[in-house]
Amino acid sequence: MYKVGLFISVFPTVLFGPILRYTDLAEQIRLRRTTTIGAFGAGWERLVMGSAKLVILAVPLNAVAMSIFANSALRDQVGSTPMTLAWLGLLAFCLQFYLAFSGYSDMAIGLARMFGFSLKANFNYPYTAHSVTNFWERWNISLCRWCYVYVFIVLGGRRAKRVVSGRAIKPRNFALRNYFVMWMLMGLWHGISWNTLAFGIWFFIFVLFEWIISLERKEKSSWLRSLYVLPVVAVGWIFLASQSIYDSFTYISNLLGINNNGFYGDMVGVYLKECGPVIVLAVIASTPIASRLFGWIEQRKNGPATYFLAMGHILIMLVLVYFCFVYANEMPTVPLIRFPNF
């Protein structure tokens, strides 16, 4: 019983994941854990990187995104959200949503590592996915796995139910029903509203389409796949960023420039002047560029420049810690991760 209590009390994962099953930590709880200096340092580094994502990048982007989405929802102000401003707001929301979520997860993983627990990554650069299905294999991995195991598989998975009300159901139709239920529940996990239901239906449609045409079995080739994925995912986020279905479609029409709101607004330049560098850093943090750079540094720590690379690595961490404390004092009291009616 004390082992179950220990699992429940792993506090770093309680609020924002990763979502754990007992089997994920059972072996680590059973064995005697040892916390080495190296493991503690790696956990501290992960904690700092997660904090930097959240405090330095996600906070200012959240302010930009929420301001633009709020202006778009003002129905009595025609021309308040020009086309370029709407795209800037959507870009800011996509970046801050990923950075806030993955930042919280990195902080939890880092804290757990400092206490001797090794947790799996919860995000794997989802914006570089080659399909919508692959995106959800990279985004909030623990949530998707939990829903697959405890919803899709429990309902029967892809197996056919022999007889229902005197007639057999084909395996494909049975799996279709199970997928639909799973995606509805994944939508409702983000809050109880029509927007979250629309969010679940939106992604269900594209995952179903890829399943029907067997997209995942085809050769994973060009970057054109990612160009198809990004707009689909971005539109899905609009349903979470907006407070109603009407506001969602209003924002989409602003993106397409069909609301007679114009193409360019002065606020675009203002926002870019304030947050342009942050957007660039956020894009880099949302791709494998930074991790590959740190990997390159690790590979060369045994070379002639070992001392300078190690000191540079430590200096970067200390600078991030400093800016995290500075920006933490200016963090808003409203939550960074907000869902409709939640």
Task: List the catalytic residues.
Answer: 190
Give the H or E element holding residue 232.
helix 224-241
Please tell me the distance from the alpha carbon of residue 10 to that of residue 25, in angstroms, as a whole number.
10
Contact between residue 328 and residue 320 where contact means Cβ atoms under 8 Å apart: no
Provide the 3-class DSSP secondary structure of residue 169: coil
DSSP states of 108-136 as a string?
A: HHHHHHHTT-----S---GGG-SSHHHHH
What residues are paired with 167 via a beta bridge?
164
Contact between residue 172 and residue 160 where contact means Cβ atoms under 8 Å apart: no
In the block, tokens 């991790």 appear at 291
Tokens at residue 170, please? 């084909």
Residues with Cβ within 8 Å of 32's Cβ and at least 6 positions away in sequence, in order, are none
Q: Which of 314, 306, 279, 315 is nearest to 99 (CA)?
A: 279
Please tell me the distance from the alpha carbon of residue 157 to that of residue 155, in angstroms, as a whole number.
6
Tokens at residue 253, please? 């029409």
Q: Environment class of residue 22 by beta-carbon count within 10 Å: exposed (0-12), middle (13-18) or buried (19+)? A: exposed
Tokens at residue 282, please? 């956020």
Report the residue count for the chain. 342
In angstroms, the Cα distances linking 33 to 3, 5, 42, 200 are 13, 17, 16, 40
Helices (H), 19-82: 22-30, 37-52, 59-72
Q: Environment class of residue 86 by beta-carbon count within 10 Å: exposed (0-12), middle (13-18) or buried (19+)? A: buried
